[in-house]
Copies of this chain bind each other. A is one copy, B any other.
């Protein structure tokens, strides 16, 4: 019996994994695909990223039920160049192809100094930090870029074109979890605007424009209009870069094409992802210089200023607690997940 606290249900991380895995296999995922997606969902719950945890399970399963996603897809790894590998996700979830691809990418980066990974034809429901973080846990500098549904206007424009297009970057540390940031190219996540709408709260400035292109604080008008890049045209440049890297460069779709191609079942559209990894030990001559120790001096300077924190610190705080104390989800979500797990 799981513990209940009012409208919340308490679960251990093992229970999270079991629930996710069972729900996926019951609905057509292969055991390997289900295990990999359950790992992704569990790591989100572990780190307090509720928006990418069990909250997403009904969406994953809905896309299996609708037939949009191939639950037993077998990802295919290939080498495109000495320093470039590719995984064809074969119309499946992104978790398993990323596992396979990252192992190959890390090997290439160690051999060549720098390497790239293209993931094609995948459905990415998750946050972007897990893949960057995994590269850094392997001692590499990691980058990841993925497109999304068209919600964001290009700089100067008023109609949705770009996705919220996150980029993630990770830096390895000795004896500590990596420095990782994972940030949308838009001023806000789509979900944040929806939460403002639900709660009847006005949006902060510069998040969005209405259908006519006027700045708006009204979340309903914003959802019908377009989101804005973060920091004006500079965030727009980052969004454009993400489109080019995760779209054209690897022969995959832009956000606007992926959106048009989608079945509109509420889940993400099929699209591409681009990753890069660098081996720090291959970027200095001699090798007598300790780059990771040097980086710690910068982190010390940052934290020496009151009010600062390092990217990902909030996730790592959560990670200290959840393996022993477990996590909570709303009872309604728990009941839905149990029902989906049959």
Contact = CB atoms under 8 A, between A and B. Distances in A.
From A80, A111, A159, name the one whose CB has the most chain B CB atoms within 10 angstroms: A80
Contact of A114 (B83, B155, B169, B237): B83
A203 B157 CA distance: 25
Given A231-B234, A248-B291, A298-B247, A276 B279 contact: no
Contact of A230 (B154, B157, B231, B279): B231
A291 to B, nearest CB: 5
A243 interface: yes
Contacts of A230: 231-232, 234-235
Chain A interface main SS type: mixed
Interface stretch (A35-43, A92-100, A303-311): A303-311
A151 interface: no
A83 B235 CA distance: 30
A251 B291 contact: yes
Contacts of A86: 283, 285
Oligomer: number of copies: 2
A135 interface: no
A113 B82 CA distance: 7
A243 to B, nearest CB: 6
Interface residues of A, number: 72
B278 A141 contact: no
Contact of A157 (B83, B153, B305): B305
Contact of A154 (B83, B249, B302): B302
B111 A114 contact: no
Given A237-B311, A243-B298, A249-B141, A282 B158 contact: no
A181 B237 contact: yes
11 contacts: A82-B111, A82-B113, A84-B112, A157-B306, A158-B305, A169-B241, A179-B240, A231-B231, A251-B289, A254-B298, A254-B301
